[in-house]
Structure 1
Amino acid sequence: MLGAWTDPSAAPAPKEAIDWAVDLARHGIPIETLLRAYRIGHGEFWQFWLTLLSARVDDPSLLAETSAATSAYTFSYVDAALAPIIDEYLRERERLARRAQSLGEAELRRVLRGDAVDVGLASERMRYQLDRWHTGFIVWSDADDEIDDTQQLDRAGARVAEVLRGTESLIVPAGRSVLYGWVGSSRRHDGVIAHLDIDGVHVCVGSPGRGVAGFRRTHDQAGLARRVARLSTPVPAFLDYRDCAVVALLCDDVDRAREFVAEVLGDTLERDDADRLLDTVSVYQHEGLSLSRAAERLHVHRNTVAYRVRRVVEASTENDGDSLHLRVAVELAKIVGPVADGGHRREA
């Protein structure tokens, strides 16, 4: 080409070079390695070419002019030849990434369905080790802007994974405004996240679980916590399954739960101060039926606590402020409590 001074920008990439680039992509060798190989090749060729020129050209001015012209020529050639080589490399990497993602997503669906899986193969396809402890979480947003929503969810998912302190994480989109995530570690982490408030998103977390079954269970628990959160008014920014496990079980059938609450609590839910009365009873129950401790937590007089508890008990079907039915009804009322006009949840 140099001898005929052929246009270097029209140079086709050699088939062997394209095949080599595709082979590098299949072996996971980074594109920087490919580019460095061409820089080295270009440098070697240039030294070889300068040696030839120096042996044939005695005139320093002519040697300088020829060197400059051929240097520009070889740079133009490498640029032209590299363009299709890089394109083929990137296309192959993208094809492999799509295939790996497809295999990983298919394997994830199998794991979540409860299908029998090969742990090693599933871990390889999902790029996440299943033979360890896992904590599952779900992140979702109510935003209307899809672009901002996606970016916000990605940041939130990474932040949750960081806070949960795993040695590796798996985060996958599960819809327009939802992310599923897991963090894995070699040992169980039982620490409770006291507060996790990320603007514009909601987070629910399951309890730690081990192995494939634990991976699936902690995800299911995060889903149950999300269900409770979405029934709540307002929707909390963060909810741990361990803080709502009982309610999650009890409100599996929301309509039946509302019927139960209405039957047990009676006229209490029709009162304007229903929320305050039920909150007082809940604190009273959680404080072991101690009027003094409940009053201290609520910053009211113990007689006020006694009065509120009595009003709820008198309106209910129960005779005891500590009865199982009343405890359940009070907890459920916070989430699914009906009103007298047809069982709709109370407005906050």
Structure 2
Amino acid sequence: MNIQVTEQANAIPAELKPDLSIRLCGPRGFCAGVDRAIQIVVLALKAYGAPVYVRHEIVHNRYVVEGLEAKGAVFVEELNEIPAEHQKQPVVFSAHGVPKSVPEDAQSRNLFYLDATCPLVSKVHKQAMRHQRLGRHVVLIGHAGHPEVIGTMGQLPEGTVSLIETIEDADVYVPADPDNLGFVTQTTLSVDDTAGVIARLTERFPNLTAPAADSICYATTNRQEAVKQAAPGCDLFIVVGAPNSSNSKRLVEVALRAGAKKSLLVQRAAELDWAEIGDIRTLGLSAGASAPEVIVDEIIAAFKARFNATIDLAITTEETENFLVNRELREVPLTHEDMAWVNGSRV
């Protein structure tokens, strides 16, 4: 763990507040796929005007969704919710990916759509389709009902993919052809849990074929590794994220397993229960891949108001990934205000 420069809280005289060390993880917050998805909505609003429709939450974060709604985005669950008079307005598919039936439905309705599926999710789609094309039955390791899982399963013909969630599922799974299986995983799973499921499947089915590259994305892996390094000795570990964010919930679990005495998932500072938090001396802090940095700052400010806080940056790696937006949007200029939205803050 790389501990860097220390920052001192100064809002209230230090002698009136208990000391608190905040271990602030890095990497944290927005990943390149989330950044790209938000950018697509912002650019579409600039290029085509409001409303821009978005199928499902663009990313799993209410702060982001409500902010984009204020700019003119309209979130729908199904394409039939788009009024006929707005048929020529763009509809954006979320970063989680969609089944093949969704763009087919959009085409049948003559809708103009922009696909914001994370490129790393698209890579999993291609890996699954390659398994199926080569005659393998696809085993998808993931969480039932998650939009990414629905999207990945929707790339394949019915009956060609089986969902495995846990080691217990792997224990009872009975494939039609045990020697002709290939697996992929949801991109936002626990690295350790997934390794256990894969190990059990491989033990039972030695000819199980892995994808050409790891399906769990770099951002998920990096954020979990940073939490693992920072969590030991923490009285409390807070993960900023939404309750429907898979990668954020996994960080809470990782923190507990790595040695934090307690771990909480928090969407906003207003949710903090100070009576429950009580007397702590070391706080770990990270954020899921769809959580904007402005909320991390909000959480820090809330603790600084009550504690004589120092911040230690616990950085395990630097992320430099950048994903291009859709070709139709690449010439649309981004202003300083636009970038503030894309980067998770507001000016």
| TM-score, normalised by the number of residues in structure 2 | 0.21
Q: Which has the higher helix share?
A: 1
Which one has a larger percent strand, Structure 1 or Structure 2?
A: 2
